[in-house]
Amino acid sequence: MQVFDETTVPTNREQTILKMVIEDYIKTAIPVPSLRLKEKFHIALSPATIRHALHMLENNGFLNHIHISSGRIPTDFGYRFYVDELMDETEESEALNREIDKELSVVVLNVEELLRVTADSLAQISSLFGFALLNSNRKAKLTDLELISLNSGRVLLVLGFQSDQIRTVVLNLSVEVKESYVEVVAAVLREHLVGLSIDNIQQTIGERLQDQPVYNNEIVQILIENPSNYFSLLENQQVCTSQKDFLLQHPEFMESEKIQSIVSALDDEATLINSILTPVGGSKTQTSIGQENIDAAFQNCSVVSRQFSYGDFEGYLGIIGPTRMPYRDIHTIVNTFSKIIFQL
């Protein structure tokens, strides 16, 4: 797993050029050469300086090229840096609010109908694939907890609940953690969380662990930041998805093999749920990019999701599209939908 450090973080000039390359590629799906940057964006730099910046971005893993003479395209690592560091926040749009209100105005007071219309509306507005998931089981008690070291800074969290229900989540860490210390963290988590309900854990995990020596460990901090993302069950969940037509119109999915792979994954409820509930990062709106997705079928995709509440229920809504998706606009759509559902 690549991480940002002092040797790989681009200079201010390189960040400006990286942002231009990514946003141009998102719009056109065409590799971006240095001449296009010079002519379209009127950069006050020499062609040689632009080429050098592109070369450095490629060397550090932010860009790639299909063949020697082609322009550059973003890598998953480049998209991740863009989403985390470079993406501008879009101001709330009254027009988008009105469009979503109109889409949801047909919903009767029925949870299943709300999920169905939400998924379809997300797809309609984004021209991608929409989903909505409702989790109704918040009272089940935690009976066991394990942490298993994988590789490249990844740790598998295994949770056991009543009625032999099991939940597994991969935690992506910024640094490797020794296996012996992972077990120390697991022992503390078991001591303070086993026997509690999902509801109780979500509401009190920070308070219960704040005086523990492992409190500042990254594993603990990830769980405390978004406990509802990890302490939840795949059982008793209701999932609604949109049609796939919009998604399959994008050039990334034109090949028959890729179409078959993504369609099969989107039709498999377990695979879809696992991708939705495997968040990356700590913000409220989660973005999982390319290779960050566990299932191979989604490794040419990005998943943008956000948790919402509806009455006594909690759920997720979001959008799936190619890694070349307009992240800023998709974040705005997902955030606005979530806000409006809160008000229903």
pLDDT of residue 110: 63
Whether the Cβ atoms of residue 190 and residue 145 lie closer than 8 Å to each other: yes
For helices 47-59 and 12-28, give the axis angle rounded to 10 degrees.
Answer: 90
* Ranges of CATH 3.30.390 domains, the chain: 142-230
Give the model's pLDDT for residue 1. Answer: 47
Judged by DSSP in three states, 309 sits in: strand
CATH no., domain 142-230:
3.30.390
pLDDT score for 282:
45
pTM (2 decimals)?
0.69
Tell how strand 63-65 and strand 154-161 pair up: unpaired
The CA distance from 203 to 318, in Å, is: 24
Cβ-proximal residues to 280 (8 Å cutoff; 6+ apart), any chain: 172, 286, 287, 288, 289, 292
Residues of the chain with CATH 1.10.10.10: 12-86
Architecture of 94-136+236-343 per CATH?
A: 2-Layer Sandwich (3.30)
Q: Which residue has the tokens 């609940």?
A: 161
Q: What is the pLDDT of residue 5?
A: 62
Write out the residue limits of the CATH 3.30.450.40 domain(s) in the chain. Answer: 94-136+236-343
pLDDT tens string, the chain, 344 residues long: the values are 455 565 578 999 999 999 999 999 999 999 999 999 988 888 888 989 999 999 999 999 999 987 766 799 999 999 999 999 999 876 667 777 777 777 666 655 566 778 888 899 999 999 999 999 876 566 678 999 999 998 878 899 999 887 567 888 889 888 887 888 899 999 999 999 999 988 899 999 999 999 999 999 999 999 999 898 888 765 557 889 999 999 999 999 888 888 888 999 999 888 888 777 655 544 478 899 999 888 888 889 999 999 887 655 678 899 999 999 999 999 999 998 888 776 65
Of 160, 156, 155, residue with least CA distance to 145: 160
pLDDT digits (tens, 9 = 90+) for 240-268: 999 999 999 999 988 888 888 899 999 98
CATH of domain 12-86: 1.10.10.10
Three-state SS for 315? strand
Alpha helices in the chain (DSSP H): 12-28, 34-41, 47-59, 76-81, 94-104, 111-126, 179-193, 198-209, 218-225, 227-230, 245-248, 256-267, 269-276, 327-343
